[in-house]
Amino acid sequence: MQSLLEEAIKKSNADYVDIRFEESQRTVVEYLGKELENIGISTSRGGIVRAIVNGGWGSVSFQDPEELSHYITLAIEAARLVGKSFTRMASARRIRDEVKVVIKKDPREISLAEKKNLMEEYNGILLKIPRIQTTSVRYHDVFLTKYFVNSEGSYLKQEWCEVVAVVQAIAREGSNVQPASESFGSTTEGFLAIEGKHSLVEDTGLRAVALLDAVPVTGDRYTVIIDHKLAGVFAHEAFGHISEGDLIYENERLREMMKLGNQFGVDNLHILDNATLKGYRGYYCYDDEGVPSSETFLIKNGILVGRLHSRETAGKMEEGITGNARAINYAHRPIVRMSNTYILPGEKSFEEILEETSEGLYVRGARGGQTNGEMFTFSAEEAFLIQKGKLAGRVRDLTLTGNVFETLKNIDAIGNDLVIINSGGGCGKGAQSPLPVSFGSPHIRIQNVLIGGR
Binding positions for another protein, 218-247, rule CB under 8 A: 219-221
CA within 13 Å, CB half, 373: 10
Report in angstroms the alpha-carbon separations of 192 from 100, 278, 285: 19, 15, 22
Stretch that binds another protein, among 32-40, 88-96, 156-164, 282-290 (CB under 8 A): 32-40
Q: Which is nearer to another protein, 310 or 339 (CB)?
A: 310
Looking at 366-426, list the stretches that DSSP marks H as alpha helix, in order from N- to C-terminal side.
404-409
* Contact yes or no for 308/282 (Cβ under 8 A): no
Q: Rank residues 2 and 329 by Cβ distance to another protein and give the closer one.
A: 329
Is-contact 137 167, C-beta < 8 A?
yes
Task: State the binding string over 50-69 for another protein (x if CB under 8 A, else -).
Answer: ------xxxxxxxxx-----
Q: Which of residues 153-192 bind another protein (CB under 8 A)?
A: 170, 172, 174-179
Q: Which of 36, 95, 192, 391 binds another protein (CB under 8 A)?
A: 36
For residues 151 and 8, give the distance between their C-alpha atoms in angstroms, rounded to a whole number: 10
Classify residue 407 as left (phi > 0), alpha (psi -120 to 50) or beta: alpha
For the CB of residue 454, give the shortest distance to another protein in the complex, in Å: 5
Q: Which is nearer to another protein, 92 or 217 (CB)?
A: 217
List the one residue from 103, 139, 397, 410 that touches another protein (CB under 8 A): 397
**What whole-number distance in Å separates Cα of residue 390 and Cα of residue 407?**
24
Task: Give min distance, CB of 274 to another protein, in A.
Answer: 27
Q: Which is nearer to another protein, 105 or 131 (CB)?
A: 131
* Partners of residue 336 on adjacent β-strands: 325
Segment interacting with another protein (CB under 8 A) among 73-81, 94-102, 149-157, 352-360: 73-81
d(C-alpha 399, C-alpha 384), whole Å: 14
Q: How far apart are CA 420 and CA 441, in angstroms?
A: 7
Query: Which residues in 99-128 contact another protein (CB under 8 A)?
Result: 112-113, 116
Of 67 and 359, the one with the shorter C-beta distance to another protein is 67
* Cβ nearer to another protein, comparing 23 with 319: 23
Element (H, E) at 434: strand 432-435
Is residue 263 within the footprint of another protein (CB under 8 A)? no
Nearest distance from residue 131's CB to another protein, in Å? 12
3-state secondary structure of 161: strand
CB neighbour list of residue 151: distance below 8 Å, 6 or more residues apart: 9, 12, 14, 16, 17, 18
Nearest distance, CB of residue 330 and another protein, angstroms: 9
Chosen residue from 37, 98, 109, 347 binding another protein by CB under 8 A: 37
Stretch that binds another protein, among 5-13, 375-383, 384-392, 409-417 (CB under 8 A): 375-383
Q: Which of residues 410-449 bind another protein (CB under 8 A)?
A: none
Residue 44 binds to another protein (criterion: CB under 8 A)? yes
Q: Is 344 in the site for another protein (CB under 8 A)?
A: no
Pick out residues in 277-336 that bind another protein (CB under 8 A).
Answer: 331, 333
Residue 370 in the binding site for another protein (CB under 8 A): yes
Three-state secondary-structure class, residue 407:
helix
Q: What is the DSSP string of 71-126?
A: HHHHHHHHHHHH--S----------EEEE----SB-GGGS-HHHHHHHHHHHHHHH
